[in-house]
Amino acid sequence: MSKSVYLLLGVHAHQPVGNFSHVIDDAHLRCYGPFLRTMHGYPEFRFSIHFSGWLFDQLLSRYPKEMKLLKEMVGRGQAEIFGAGYSEPVLAVIPYRDRIAQIETLSRRLEKTLGKKPEGAWLTERVWEATVVPALADSGIAYTTVDDYHFLCSGKKMSELDGFFTTEEDGRKLDLFPISEALRYKLPFSPANEVVAYLEGLAREEGDPAAIYFDDIEKFGIWPETYHWVYEQGWLREFLEGVLASKIIKTMRYSDYRKMARTRGVIYLPTTSYIEMNEWTLPVPAAHHYADLVQESKHSGTFEQNKAFLRGGIWKNFFSRYPESNWMHKRMLSLSTRLDALPKRKRTAQMIEALFEAQANDAYWHGLFGGLYLPHLRRAVYRAIVKLEQLLDSASKRDAKQVHDLDLDGHDEAFIQNGLLQIAVRLDGSASLCEWDVYKLSHNFADTLSPPEEHYHRKIHFQESEPHSGGVYNPHEKMGFKDRITPEDLKTNEGPKSLFMERWITQSGIARPAYELVHDADSLGIAFGARLGEGRVAKRFRLEKNRLFAEYAFEETGEGTFCIELNLAMPSCDGPAGRFRIGDDIMGGFGQELTVQNLKSLVLEDDVLGGKLSIHLDQGMGCYARPHFSVSQSEAGFEKIMQAVTISLSCRPRELNAPVSICFEVE
């Protein structure tokens, strides 16, 4: 018998819901288009491909020529299309009913457009929990792919992972293919002839061995240096021709291999994702400890033997790591529950679409790519959340004021809404706003990010080594610098970046008022009181049409300065579309500092938002505005990202002869 190996090559194409049009165009120019055109020229090379639903629809409308090539490849049996949740949610963190709806929506879309209903599904970020099995099976999915690491964590040996296994949960079964980590790191970063030789080395005379690859298609053209390497220098063509010329390697779709080969037996996988994710999801210093253990194991030569037992965190840790992610997630879940409770006759396609977009995974986590750190991705989630809530309110009226602990942090939040605006007030002593929604704009002005400490910050001060020779730069292994980073940029002790966080500044130091809720029967307002210096401060919010009022009254406070910090999410960030205006004068952009001694009125104009926010004060206050940046890692290197406009308003209570009233008007 001659040796052989079956190459199951799969690629996953995805762009986050709400990503910029120019990013989609660039991704198609450098990756999706040339990849499809190249593969179309080799009809004997079988492969599998997955497009997330939102991206699939974008490409259908913008690039029908290449999508027609995809349909031809599916029709002639060359390409197998994989399904998933339509908006690329992490299935493990959305309800069962939404898992079914998401998967079936994309499957129907693919069948209608490409003529073939998917049998396999891409599992977003390979986040595995056994609870996803019933929904996948009930949606007509027979198999999915996860990392070989998942199997190692269940006790399997690497030598066993050249075929598929079967698992079951609650009476449903699902076949699982282990993706080779070695291939993920070789394609397309190693020379094509070396990859072909590696594949041939996996061949055996019996047992139907499979070389299993399924990874981001963006590595084939979008990642640093890869467009030149993969297309201009001909890596992809050389690889395809080398595989087809081999007498040992046989390309095959996952569906065909599954029909030909037998399952390797039953398997039960632990809750996990790919090995890099297990580090990203851990908080500092646990992530440092984990990374150090991994490095020690690598240096001692025991890593391959021990890595299955060097377990990091799980994906859901992102909700406990980042309060902003947790808040979005719990808001999404609450609206999903409301939608499910709505009579079917009142549910609309718009509601379903908004829910799906609110469940898109990208803005909920952060690893090698920006994710949660990218304001436009969070804004897309909030735009969907606010839109869905408005649609639900129009179908089923809710109370103007509701109080409950949405984010499960042990403190209630008060939600107050008048149909035009909504505020979520924290009852944790800060009396700050963690959400301020404007339904007309589908925007949350409190959508920002507090500066968290990240495990990779300790790498920033080290000079990165040069990319290895013989291949291209792999961001999984090395990080460069996109922006100049200073120690000041890494400060993480500034506290939450909410709206209406106050400080009391005296010669003896800085203190924050600890507010207590004052009984207030007003359904469109809420009042608090706190000790301040030698006296007290009263704080009250109220809604009036499209205006939010914040009112402060002081009593015998003594000498000191009272500062009100506002962290406002302005979609244009530090781009040219946003500006401060006082009267007819433009005072600068949001990325610049602004100081005004006796401010009475300030307008924030934002062309991306499609509206403006006016701040009116009945008494003059000092104003200092500045951009709030965070430092994150991305495929292009470490970078600074503007998260919010931070405005500090200050006054000296002993010099006031009346309470302070601040009106925020949205137009």
Catalytic residue among 119, 125, 148, 200: 125
Amino acid identity of 330? K
635 annotated active-site = no
- Count Cβ atoms below 10 Å from residue 61 Cβ, excluding itself: 9
Residue 102 in tokens: 């998401």
Contact 263, 143 (CB under 8 A): no
Collapsed DSSP state (helix, strand, coil) of residue 16 = coil
Residue burial 361-383, b: 16+ Cβ < 10 Å; e: rest: bbbbbbbebbbbbbbbbbbbbbb
Query: In whole angstroms, what is the distance from residue 436 CA to residue 312 CA?
Result: 35
Instruction: Assess contact for 536 and 556: CB atoms under 8 A.
Output: yes
Cβ partners under 8 Å of residue 324, min gap 6: 372, 378, 447, 448, 449, 450
* 96, 497, 553, 601, 621 from 657: Cα distances, Å: 58, 30, 10, 19, 13
Residues 6+ apart with CB under 8 A from 487: none
> Which of 458, 451, 372, 460 is CA-nearest to residue 638?
460
Q: Cα separation of 390 and 383, whole Å?
A: 11
Q: Which of 216, 276, 551, 665 is catalytic?
A: 216
Q: Hey, is 364 helix, strand or coil?
A: helix
Active site annotation includes 216: yes
Best CA proximity match to 184, nearest among 227, 215, 226: 215
Helix extents (H) in 374-431: 375-395
Cα separation of 242 and 236, whole Å?
A: 10
Query: DSSP E strands: which ranges in 180-327?
Result: 210-216, 249-251
Residue 502 is given by DSSP the state: E
- Tell me the one-letter amino acid at 121: A
**CA–CA separation, 148 and 303 (whole Å):** 15
Chain mean position to CA 616: 35
Query: Do 91 and 74 form a contact (C-beta atoms < 8 A)?
Result: no
What is residue 564's three-state secondary structure? strand
Show which residues are catalytic: 125, 216
